[in-house]
Amino acid sequence: MADKKIVLILNAGQEYIRHTGDDERKYAAQLNRLFEAVTDTYIPLLNAFESLERDGIPFKVGLVLSPVLCNLLEDPVVQKQYSEWIERRLEIGKREIERNASVPARLEIAKLCFEKNQEAAISYAKYNQKIIRKFYEFQKKGFVEILATCGTDIFLPQYSDIPEVMSAQVETGLYAYKASFGEVPDGFWLPEMGYYPGIEKILKAYGMNYTVLDSRSFLFSENEPEKGIFYPARFENSLAVFARDSRCDAEIFGEDGFASGKAYLDINKDIGFELPAEELEPFVTKGEPRYSFGYAYCKKEASVAKENTYSYSDAAAHCMADAETFVSRREAVLKEAEKLLPDTDVVSLVVTVSLNKLRSVWNEGIYWIECLFRAAAQKKVQFECARNLLGNQYQLQRIRPYYGSSSGVGYGEDLLSSKNNWMIRYVRKASRRMVDLSERFPADTGLKARLLNLGAKELMLAQSCGWAKMIHNNDFPEYARMRFNRSINDFTAVFDALGSNTVSTEWLTKLENEHQIFPWMNYRIFNRKR
């Protein structure tokens, strides 16, 4: 009888959105995304891990913490901003409790929302603002496996003909991992699961043991994987590869998916969107973009004729039921796989969940994740980290996966659409220029080296496909366009300054202070590999 395992990988990423001074207020709606993620995702996830450990519930989970996210969460300026932000949320909560004092049902929800924000503030102080360090503690205990990823959220197939860019992004991601955790990872997460034949050579050259691909890339291999998605395979260079179960996305996020359950909180009915601006002063200025405040009262009930006030107990019960359903479905699939693969010691399914997407549509999503482990504890199926399933990877079947992605309908087409295709020519031109600059200035120091390092950082920020995705999805498109253009323009200024041999120290220092990501950046990572 084969062991049945579920590999759950949670992907947490963030665009580099960091503003200070007057810009902090100007871009409050964009900054809110990060602070909301800390409150509604990262701290609750840590609290869930603590709860599971305390109750003796076994859990194993893969976690992708992007270098950009790690940098922001470890930035003292951002930490201070978050502390001020959560205090404002608590002030809003006190006003909400007062405003709903005469409506018992809403008063109860207001108090629950306030307690959630209060718990986030208490936990943040308890963790000494070091959220990333706390996740690493769970890795040391064997509960969590943190995977490495690229320096920024780059879609690597768009640079398949510029290997120096791909190598630089992988190297930056691994350096950032070492800086944050002091270790060398086993697994490497490809942003958007973007794969193009040849990427595996770069990952293997940097000592990686495995990666994860979309099931379509895996199954469309030139030679069909004999054990399907239920067992890892390997590339010709022996880099192991897992295939995610792409059907799970529809189960979670589809039209009738778990996240759309009618008992769950309708976060689109947050007071930040529902109340008149004058009732939200001084937290919102009339004419500025609206954003959520963490206080909502309605469930996702379609019918207005029925009572649609949110019930925490009903939502919690539905969460547990949905978790049991999800685990039972995985168990049933694995039992069928066991029958089809009688000589296999372990059959597994890889489930990947974007924490950003989860937070944006499902208020109870993190509690559902906790419930998954509690439900699995009652069944003959276990969660496991991918690295523990590799065994002797040199005995795995060799395959040649096909180009693919988890984005769009499987090919990342939303990252190069009619709305955002204008971006690619600028960033690819800048990429080739960066490679040339690293060759022209192989051993420079002082101001030139600082200038080149800045250019490398600005290029990597521009390479992030998050800006293209925001434009495609009409999600703060003007902001994304501004941020992309600014990075391209700043890189061009670096290029021109090196060409004319004129460096503005004031301008250079200003940008270095604004973009403190990758302080250890060495532009020579863009050198051609010989």
The whole-number pLDDT of residue 530 equals 65
Structure tokens at 420: 């955002």
User: Residue 162, CB half-sphere, CA atoms under 13 Å: how many?
Assistant: 22
Structure tokens at 11: 């992907």
Where is 264: in which H helix or E strand?
none
- Determine how many CB atoms are found less than 10 A away from the CB of residue 530: 3
Q: How many helices (H) and strands (E) does the chain have?
A: 20, 9
Same domain, 318 and 465: no
CATH number for position 167: 3.20.110.10
The whole-number pLDDT of residue 138 equals 97
Contacts of 387 (CB under 8 A, 6+ apart): 145, 186, 187, 209, 210
What gap in Å lies between CA 379 and CA 382, rounded to an integer?
Answer: 8
Same domain, 219 and 360: yes
Residue 401 lies in a domain: no
pLDDT in tens, the chain (530 residues): 778 999 999 999 999 999 998 898 889 999 999 999 999 999 999 999 999 999 999 999 999 999 999 999 999 999 999 999 999 999 999 999 999 999 999 999 999 999 999 999 999 999 999 999 999 999 999 999 999 999 999 999 999 999 999 999 999 999 999 999 999 999 999 999 999 999 999 999 999 999 999 999 999 999 999 999 999 999 999 999 999 998 999 999 998 999 999 999 999 999 999 898 888 888 877 777 888 999 999 999 755 545 688 999 999 999 999 999 999 999 999 999 999 998 888 999 999 999 999 999 999 999 999 999 999 998 878 999 999 999 888 889 999 999 999 998 888 999 999 999 999 999 999 999 999 999 999 888 888 999 999 999 999 999 999 999 999 999 999 999 999 999 999 999 999 998 888 878 888 898 888 888 999 999 999 998 76
∠ Cα 125 128 134 (to 5°)? 110
Same domain, 447 and 368: no
The 10s digit of each residue's pLDDT in 7-58 is: 999 999 999 999 998 898 889 999 999 999 999 999 999 999 999 999 999 9
Domain boundary among 339, 365, 395: 395
What gap in Å lies between CA 303 and CA 495, rounded to an integer?
Answer: 58
Same domain, 44 and 155: yes
The whole-number pLDDT of residue 307 equals 65
The whole-number pLDDT of residue 392 equals 82
Structure tokens at 430: 């800048």
Same domain, 333 and 216: yes
What gap in Å lies between CA 432 and CA 446, rounded to an integer?
Answer: 23
Same domain, 34 and 138: yes
The 10s digit of each residue's pLDDT in 238-289 is: 999 999 998 999 999 998 999 999 999 999 999 999 898 888 888 877 777 8
Residue 87 lies in a domain: no
What gap in Å lies between CA 222 and CA 453, rounded to an integer?
Answer: 41
Same domain, 58 and 152: yes
The model carries a pTM of: 0.95
∠ Cα 318 324 328 (to 5°)? 145
CATH number for position 453: 1.20.1430.10
The whole-number pLDDT of residue 484 equals 97
Residue 117 lies in a domain: no
Hey, is 404 helix, strand or coil? strand
Residue 331 lies in a domain: yes
Same domain, 9 and 151: yes
Residue 89 lies in a domain: no
Cis peptide leading into residue 401 (ω within 30°)? no
Same domain, 378 and 426: no
Same domain, 65 and 12: yes
Domain boundary among 361, 395, 429: 395
Residue 106 lies in a domain: no
Residue 292 lies in a domain: no
Q: Sign of the CA dihedral 143, 149, 154, 157?
A: negative
Same domain, 48 and 155: yes
Which residue range forms the structural domain that includes residue 208? 3-70+131-263+313-395
What gap in Å lies between CA 12 and CA 36, rounded to an integer?
Answer: 13
Domain count along the chain? 2
164, 55 Cβ separation under 8 angstroms: no
How would you write 207-260 as a 3-class SS string?
CCCEEEECHHHHHCCCCCCCCHHHCCEECCCCCEEEEECCHHHHHHHCCCCHHH
Hey, is 58 helix, strand or coil? coil
The whole-number pLDDT of residue 305 equals 47
Residue 298 lies in a domain: no
Same domain, 425 and 377: no
The whole-number pLDDT of residue 409 equals 85
